Amino acid sequence: MMAICSAHTTTISLRSPCTTTVSNAAAGLVQKQVIFLTSINRRSGSRRRGGGVSRTLLQVSCSADGNKPVVIGLAADSGCGKSTFMRRLTSVFGGAAEPPRGGNPDSNTLISDTTTVICLDDYHSLDRTGRKEKGVTALDPRANNFDLMYEQVKAIKQGQAVQKPIYNHVTGLLDPPELITPPKIFVIEGLHPMFDERVRDLLDFSIYLDISDEVKFAWKIQRDMAERGHSLESIKASIEARKPDFDAYIDPQKQYADAVIEVLPTQLIPDDDEGKVLRVKLIMKEGVDKFNPVYLFDEGSTISWVPCGRKLTCSYPGIKFAYGPDIYFGNEVSVLEMDGQFDRLDELIYVESHLSNLSTKFYGEVTQQMLKHADFPGSNNGTGLFQTIVGLKIRDLYEQIVAERAGAPVEAAKV
């Protein structure tokens, strides 16, 4: 296993020789460093004691390359299914995702056997009161600390632990930090994983959940009116207040994503405004390293498919699939689409058998994962199906990266 070391020097002024330990407290980094001290008189170049002495510190940090995490970014607005997607993803890798044991009960972090998921809300630089005083939303970059986000994601990717801040969604305050150690798969989810170019360049794979305004509005009405007793007028006002910042800072990130799950109103029911039946697209960028887009029937062709009603039970308005090449923000993409919903998940195997490049370990694994989480939101439509497929593709990408680091020949799974 290859060790990767980085080194840099720092010059400090000391009045007496000493042994020094340097840490980057500002970035919350926790790392071991080997420090060599050399005392030099700037004027004569000779060693001396007393005032005017500068000392040069060489700081060396090493980590085993094989232990460096694979970093995944997931972007979406609030209430768009990020947490459900994370539960599907961690399930693919094995083990249930849970908050850190013995830590802050209001922590946003989820940890499983192989994955750690952090919420980028933790990098809010302003608490709820501070945002209100300055008249900014949490979507505004001015309310977030991107320098710290970059430093800590970079450190984790290099195999270093960090003391990550916590934004408390219950109190709206910034809580004391928590220790995050490098996992095998490190997922950053939230509003801005692809906003800052420095953070974006650290991602091994990126996903954007793109919920149309019509569907988002229908979902928010169902949740906030039924569960929270909000009025229709207050819901509309809340959405409209966030929309300018969403359009300016969140939505543009989808152009950088390797995969986009786009959720739209159905085209099977004319003038549908309930948002219960959905048309979902999986937009997959071509040419992404270690990622082979999924296809239906024939790769690169344009397909429209209505499954046989005897093999796939579905009530009104039925189910329709589509697949084909397209251009998305100037990039070549493959698009897989599903409109409608399933009545019986066990029959999903019929659809799975017609899809290729799923990166499954065995025949029927997509169906198995969907049945395993049948109670999750979206399990009867394309949101759950495509989230599951993307989870399998991320597992395949992770395994390719690990094999490549180990020096073994590797090829993307074609199953």
User: Domains in the chain, ordered, with CATH?
Assistant: 67-208 (3.40.50.300), 258-406 (no CATH)
pLDDT in tens, 72-107: 999 998 877 788 888 898 889 887 788 888 889 999
Percentage of the chain beyond pLDDT 70 is 80
**Average pLDDT of the chain, as a whole number:** 83
As a whole number, mean pLDDT of residues 343-369 equals 95
pLDDT in tens, 173-212: 999 999 999 999 999 999 999 999 999 999 999 999 999 9
Query: Using alpha carbons only, how large is the chain's radius of gyration in Å?
Result: 25
pLDDT in tens, 102-159: 889 999 999 998 999 999 999 999 999 999 999 999 999 999 999 999 999 999 999 9
Give the CA distances from residue 46 to residues 49, 229, 300, 410, in Å, rounded to whole numbers and listed in that order.
10, 77, 71, 55
pLDDT in tens, 304-348: 999 977 788 888 889 999 999 999 999 999 999 999 999 999 999
Q: 325 - beta bridge partners?
A: 334
For residue 36, pLDDT beyond 70: no
Flag whether the pTM goes above 0.85: no
pLDDT in tens, 61-75: 344 455 799 999 999
As a whole number, mean pLDDT of residues 236-263 equals 93
For residue 55, pLDDT beyond 50: no
Length of the chain: 415
β-bridge pairing 70-75 and 53-64: unpaired
List of residues 6+ apart from 35 with CB closer than 8 A: 20, 21, 22, 57, 58, 59
